[in-house]
C-alpha cells in the first residue's frame, strides 16, 4: 500500500536527520583527528625544544668538568695508587688523615661542598671514584644529609683545597644493608676526599608545562 503524504514527509524528515547525524559524526571525527595531529605536532616541537636545551646543558656541564679536571687532576691523581687492602676487623671507629691541608673555608657537618673522591673496600677494590683514565669526572656536589654519616663526620673541619683519607666503620657507612657486591653487609670502607671551590652552578633545563601536559596525554 502506498504511503500517505504525511508518512512520506515523516520518512524524509527521518532520512534528513540520519544524514545530518552521519555527516556531523564524520565532521567530528575529522576535527578530532585534525586536533590530535595538531597536538602531536605541538608535542613534538615542545620535546625537540627541551631536547635541544638538554643538549646545551650537557655540553656546558662537560666543558666545566673538563676545565676542572685540567685544574685538579695532577693534585688528586697522586693519590690514585693509595687504595690497598686493609684489615676490616681493625676498623672500629672513624679515623681521618689529612694528606693535604687546605687553605680555604672550613667545612662543617651542615655544609654543602664540592669534592673529588676515591672509595675502596677491605680487598683494596675501588668501588667508585672521580678518576676516569687520565681525567676527572664531574665533581660530586655534597649536601647535608645526602651522604653517609662517615662522610659527614669525616669531612668536618676540612678546608677547601684539602685532601683527607677517611677510614669508616660499617656503622657509619652502609651498615647491615651493604651497598652492592663490592660493599657487603657490615663492611668498613675507605675514601680519599678532595674538597674544591664550588664551581658555578649550571641551571638544568626544566620541562615546560606544555611538555608535561602532552606527556600526560600520551602524545610523546
Closest CA to 214 of 53, 34, 58, 37: 37
pTM reported for the whole predicted model: 0.78
For the segment 163-205, what is each residue's pLDDT rounded down to a tens digit?
Answer: 999 999 999 999 999 999 999 999 999 999 999 999 999 999 9
CATH 3.40.50.1100 for the 78-196 domain, yes or no:
no
pLDDT over 90 at 2, yes or no: no
pLDDT-based confidence at 8, cuts 50/70/90?
Answer: low
Burial 40-50 (b: 16+ CB within 10 A, else e): eeebeebbeeb
Across the chain, what does the average pLDDT equal? 88
Tens-place pLDDT, residues 85-113:
999 999 999 999 999 999 999 999 999 99
Residue 4 has pLDDT above 80, yes or no: no
Q: Is pLDDT of 61 > 90?
A: yes
Give percent of the chain with pLDDT exceeding 90.
72
C-alpha angle with apex 205: 107 to 116, nearest 5 degrees?
A: 30
Amino acid at each position: 500500500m502506498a504511503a500517505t503524504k504525511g508518512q512520506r514527509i515523516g520518512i524524509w524528515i527521518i532520512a534528513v536527520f540520519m544524514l545530518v547525524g552521519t555527516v556531523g559524526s564524520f565532521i567530528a571525527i575529522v576535527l578530532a583527528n585534525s586536533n590530535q595531529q595538531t597536538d602531536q605536532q605541538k608535542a613534538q616541537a615542545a620535546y625537540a625544544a627541551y631536547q635541544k636545551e638538554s643538549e646545551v646543558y650537557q655540553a656546558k656541564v662537560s666543558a666545566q668538568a673538563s676545565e676542572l679536571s685540567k685544574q685538579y687532576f695532577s693534585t688528586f691523581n697522586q693519590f690514585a695508587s693509595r687504595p690497598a687492602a686493609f684489615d676490616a676487623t681493625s676498623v672500629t671507629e672513624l679515623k681521618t688523615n689529612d694528606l693535604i691541608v687546605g687553605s680555604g673555608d672550613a667545612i662543617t657537618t651542615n655544609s654543602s661542598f664540592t669534592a673529588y673522591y676515591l672509595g675502596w673496600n677491605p680487598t683494596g677494590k675501588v668501588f667508585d671514584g672521580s678518576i676516569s683514565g687520565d681525567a676527572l669526572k664531574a665533581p660530586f656536589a655534597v649536601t647535608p644529609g645526602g651522604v653517609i654519616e662517615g662522610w659527614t663526620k669525616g669531612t668536618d673541619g676540612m678546608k677547601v683545597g684539602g685532601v683527607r683519607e677517611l677510614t669508616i666503620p660499617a656503622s657509619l657507612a652502609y651498615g647491615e644493608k651493604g651497598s652492592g657486591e663490592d660493599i657487603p653487609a657490615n663492611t668498613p670502607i675507605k675514601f680519599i676526599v678532595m674538597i674544591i671551590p664550588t664551581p658555578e652552578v649550571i641551571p638544568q633545563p626544566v620541562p615546560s608545562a606544555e611538555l608535561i601536559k602532552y606527556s600526560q596525554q600520551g602524545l610523546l
